Amino acid sequence: MKKGFVFDLDGVITDTAKFHYLAWKDLADEIGIEIDLKFNEQLKGISRMDSLERILAYGNKSDAFTTEQKEALAEKKNTHYVELLQDLTPDDLLPGVQEFLNDAKAQNVPCAIASASKNAPFILEKLGVQDAFDAIVDPATLTKGKPDPEIFVRAAEAINITPAEAVGFEDAQAGLDGIKAAGMYAVGVYSGEELHGADLIVHHLTDISVAELLQK
Interface residue list for ligand B16 (CB under 6 A): 8-11, 20, 43-48, 51, 78, 115-119, 172
Interface with Mg ion includes 8 (CB under 5 A)?
A: yes
Rounded to a whole number of angstroms, the minimum distance from the CB of residue 157 to ligand B16 is 18
Q: Report what 118 binds from Mg ion, ligand B16, none; CB cut-off 5-8 Å by kind.
A: ligand B16
Residue 8, annotated ligand binder? yes
Number of continuous H segments (helices) and E segments (strands) in the chain: 9, 6
Catalytic sites, residue numbers: 8, 10
By C-beta, is 11 or 147 nearer to Mg ion? 11
Q: How far apart are CA 213 and CA 126, in angstroms?
A: 27
Query: With CB cut-offs between 5 and 8 Å by kind, which of ligand B16, Mg ion, none does residue 40 bind?
Result: none
Q: Is 171 annotated as a binding residue?
A: yes
Q: Looking at the chain, which runs of residues are DSSP E strands?
A: 4-7, 111-113, 135-136, 166-170, 185-189, 200-202
Instruction: Of 174, 142, 66, 10, give the one whose Cα is nearest residue 56.
Output: 66
Dist. CA 112–CA 5, nearest whole Å:
6
Which of 11, 110, 163, 168: binder of Mg ion (CB under 5 A)? 11
Nearest to 111 by CA among 20, 6, 193, 188: 6
Minimum CB–partner distance for residue 172 and ligand B16 (Å): 6
9 is in an annotated binding site: yes
Closest CA to 20 of 47, 58, 57: 47
Choose between 19 and 185: whose C-beta lies nearer to ligand B16. 19
d(Cα 72, Cα 88) in Å, to the nearest integer?
A: 25
Residue 134 binds what, of ligand B16, Mg ion, none (CB under 5 to 8 Å, by partner type)? none
10 touches Mg ion (CB under 5 A): yes
Strand partners of residue 112: 6, 135
Is 117 annotated as ligand-binding?
A: yes
Angle between helices 17-30 and 48-58 (to 10 degrees): 50
Binding mask 114-153 for Mg ion (x = CB under 5 A): ----------------------------------------
- Give the residue among 47, 50, 55 at the shortest CA–CA distance from 27: 55
Judged by CB under 5 A, the chain residues 146 through 205 that form the site for Mg ion are 171-172
Question: Known binding site: residues?
Answer: 8-10, 24, 43-48, 51, 77, 115-119, 146, 170-171
* Residues contributing to the site for Mg ion (CB under 5 A): 8, 10-11, 45, 171-172
Question: Known binding site for Mg(2+): residues?
Answer: 8, 10, 170-171
